[in-house]
Amino acid sequence: MSLVAGVDSSTQSCKIVIRDAETGALVREGRAAHPDGTEVHPDAWWTAFQQAAEQAGGLDDVAAIAVGAQQHGMVCLDENGEVVRPALLWNDTRSAKAASDLVKELGGPQAWVDAVNSVPVASFTVTKLRWLAEHEPENAARVRAVCLPHDWLTWKLAGSPGIEAITTDRGDASGTGYWSPAAGTYRTDLLKLAFGTTPAVPRVLGPAERAGTTPGGAVLGPGTGDNMAAALGVGAKPGDVVVSIGTSGTAFAVSDTPAADPTGMVAGFADATGRFLPLACTLNAARVLDAIARVLGVTPARLSELALQAPPGADGLVLVPYFEGERTPNRPEATGLIHGMRLATATPAHLARAAVEGMLCGLADALDALGMSPSRVLLVGGGARSEAVRRIAPTVFGCQVVVPKPGEYVADGAARQAAWVLAGTPEPPAWEGAETEVYEGEPTPGLRERYAEARDLDQH
């Protein structure tokens, strides 16, 4: 039996699954926390990776490894491959002005869509590079290579050869803002526009191309961004719509053609199989529930019970979840809002319900942006472990919600990619899909309208 390892180096933690390469059966797993904050030194990801690998019983018997990781984070290296400054993560909004400047400088949103299939917001790497050039010129002057979290971890696993050896894949490259998914080429002119110079960028590998080997001889897969890995992990096919509730909330679909949305709501990413992954992302998902549980002094499980005690629509209490600013819609300065509170709705149950419904309304906006009106969505991510989220989701999304058995679908997708690279077959291995539970429910009358009204009261 050959074993493969899949890694999810996401915002909050590093998770590793070790699976049978042929059947996909789970053999061992491990996890370790990442530090808080929107600026993190990549060494912290490496430490967490090592802790997670140890908890998973080590990787010595693994034949191939692939890394899925949070998208967009700016990892800058000097000529010796040393990290120049802590990475700015996807949810760091300090480059919001850089984003709007860059959009203007190229000639508006349509010019960006034509160039790279996405209109950059503060999450995109290209805007972080502009911020660095403007605010930390001494650090910027030392940068010789720029890469993403999964590129850097894959390179570390290869033993940190020279910076010219760094690789990436189509999926993650499509979140930089200087690689065109439609053309499959870098736009170094955009890198220069943002940064003033053109540091080295990773070589873009094909979906099942080897990135190299570890010093121990394990084959390295190309890896990918976490959403692309999740799509591979749940086995999403063209037309399937997936909603992930992690630190970010994302709604995405596998597509045979790249998206081109000049409103900027839908990013026209590539996927991990050679196709495309139109995606809308919110900055506020599972951590909104964590925050309200903290405010109420309860566990996530109790928050879920409380939310299910209040009536659908929480008797008009609305929570707008923009606790970290927002990206869909693009309001980086926005804050959260509780609207419609009366004596009768000033209860823990109403607040819990409003938090779940408000977080899901934010995701429903992302789903609307995809413009697909799906009859069902697949729900994954840490937030999908909440009973209240699973039961309330259909009443907000207005469609059936299919929840695969709780698991680590990003790490699973990376493991499946590793098995694919090992097998050298044209398609990924046909691992058996996870068991699913189906949730249905009538849309709650007036809920999304009340949410939209509250959302648009304060338009920072």
Instruction: Return the active site residues.
Output: 226
Which of residues 68, 249, 300, 374 is near ligand ADP by CB under 6 A?
A: 300
Main-chain phi, psi angles of 23, to 5 degrees: -95, -25
Instruction: Count how many residues are written for the chain.
Output: 460
Question: 148-187 mask for ligand 5SP (x: CB under 6 A)?
Answer: ---------------------------x------------
CA distance linking residue 376 with residue 374, whole number of Å: 5
What is the sign of the dihedral through the CA atoms of 297, 298, 300 and 306? negative
Show contacts with ligand 5SP in window 107-146 (CB under 6 A): 123
Which residues carry a binding-site annotation for substrate? 71-72
Q: Which of 102, 83, 71 minimizes the C-alpha distance to 42?
A: 83
Q: Does residue 246 belong to the site contacting ligand ADP (CB under 6 A)?
A: yes
* Distance in Å, CB of 449 to ligand ADP, minimum: 27
Q: Does residue 34 belong to the site contacting ligand 5SP (CB under 6 A)?
A: no
Span interacting with ligand 5SP, options 65-73, 159-167, 183-191, 347-355, rule CB under 6 A: 65-73
Which residues carry a binding-site annotation? 71-72
User: Measured from the CB atom, is 176 or 227 closer to ligand ADP?
Assistant: 227
* Distance in Å, CB of 227 to ligand 5SP, minimum: 5
Reduced to 3 states, what is the DSSP secondary structure of residue 373? coil
Between CA 119 and CA 127, with CA 121 as vertex, the angle to 5 degrees is: 100
Q: Which of 458, 423, 436 minimizes the C-alpha distance to 20?
A: 423
Between CA 243 and CA 249, with CA 248 as vertex, the angle to 5 degrees is: 25
Q: Report the DSSP beta bridge partners of residue 77.
A: 83, 145
# binding residues, ligand ADP (CB under 6 A)? 16
User: Measured from the CB atom, is 129 or 411 closer to ligand ADP?
Assistant: 411
Which of residues 227, 255, 304, 386 is near ligand 5SP by CB under 6 A?
A: 227
Q: Does residue 31 belong to the site contacting ligand ADP (CB under 6 A)?
A: no
Residue 287, contacted partner among ligand 5SP, ligand ADP, none, CB below 5-8 A by kind: ligand ADP
User: Measured from the CB atom, is 363 or 419 closer to ligand 5SP?
Assistant: 363
Q: At what angle do helices 125-135 and 96-106 cross, to 10 degrees?
A: 100
Q: How many CA atoms lie within 13 A of 187 on its CB side?
A: 24
Beta strands in 173-287 (DSSP E): 179-180, 185-186, 203-205, 212-213, 219-220, 224-225, 241-245, 249-253, 267-270, 276-282
Q: Report the DSSP beta bridge partners of residue 213.
A: 219
Q: Does residue 95 belong to the site contacting ligand 5SP (CB under 6 A)?
A: no
Which of residues 117, 176, 328, 386 is near ligand ADP by CB under 6 A?
A: 386
Q: Where are the alpha helices (DSSP H) in 32-162?
A: 42-55, 96-106, 109-116, 125-135, 137-142, 149-157
* Distance in Å, CB of 52 to ligand 5SP, minimum: 15
User: Measured from the CB atom, is 410 or 422 closer to ligand ADP?
Assistant: 410
Span interacting with ligand ADP, options 11-19, 213-221, 268-276, 361-369, rule CB under 6 A: 11-19
Q: What's the distance, Cα to Cα, between the start and end of the chain in Å? A: 56
Span interacting with ligand ADP, options 7-15, 164-172, 173-181, 426-434, rule CB under 6 A: 7-15
Q: Does residue 10 belong to the site contacting ligand 5SP (CB under 6 A)?
A: yes
Q: Does residue 246 belong to the site contacting ligand 5SP (CB under 6 A)?
A: yes
Give contact residues for ligand 5SP (rule: CB under 6 A): 10-11, 70-72, 90, 123, 175, 225-227, 246-248, 250, 279, 281
